[in-house]
Amino acid sequence: MKKQCLGILGIVGLTAISTISFAKESTTVFAAASLTNAMQDIEKLYEQTYKTDVKTSFAGSSTLAKQIEAGAPVDIFMSADLQWMDYLQKQGQVSPKNRVNLLGNSLVWIAPKQQKAKLEVKKGAVPDLVKKSRICTGNTNSVPVGKYAKAALTSLDWWTAVQPKLVETEDVRGALAFVERGECQLGIVYATDAAISDKVKVVGTFPVGSYPAVVYPVAKLDQSTETQRMYQFIQGKKAEAIFKKYGFIPLHPTAKRK
């Protein structure tokens, strides 16, 4: 009996050692849909560098923030606007000392690649193409790109004319997809989203100051060593190069670089 117990203990011990040896630390990142391509590249580079696992989830910032509020296990949150990060901070989910404004972006008008018309975007004068088109953007009440778009259209005195034409989506990639398929003749998305698609082209931009600055804050929600390392990596030089490749504008040059 004694030998049998020792044998069982030995097997348990070996199993425990094996589990410890092969256990992988991982970090879960929730990021705005517009960050998908850049963060997938950063995720791959991070995993190659540190031999660890990163789990990413991409959606509208509003959707992700509500999931975090509901208790989703997340280590890092990257929002496409300040409002949803502030929302989580008010809920006690984010500490002011554990967040930074990381990136900037801009809004553009897009159309299917074959579209020949260009938009002259100026206050008060709504082009005929805009009046006749279905226009895709994010939900104007909750999705950051939609809120920025509403602010821009309102400042131009275009909102009354454009609102009935809007097709509002759950995130910016949904709006991009509608325009790619020709289901919307025009779309309002981020410049970075327009740049990744070979099925659409930019047909107009908004005047400077017509909408609030597009700011992407990032926050760590967990204090573990692994989360801290990923949080710093996202702010580092290698990640910055990837963000720049996709057209994002770095806003936080004083972060610790790796």
Annotated binding site: 34, 61, 172, 190
Element containing residue 144 per DSSP (H, E)? helix 144-155
DSSP secondary structure letters along 159-170:
HHHHGGGEEEES
Residue 127 vs residues 119, 135, 160, 183: alpha-carbon distances, Å: 7, 13, 13, 20
Question: Residue 58 corresponds to which tokens in the numbers above?
Answer: 């991409």
- Point out the annotated binding site for molybdate: 34, 61, 172, 190
> 247 and 107 in contact (C-beta within 8 Å)?
no
DSSP 181: T
Determine how many CB atoms are found less than 10 A away from the CB of residue 88: 21
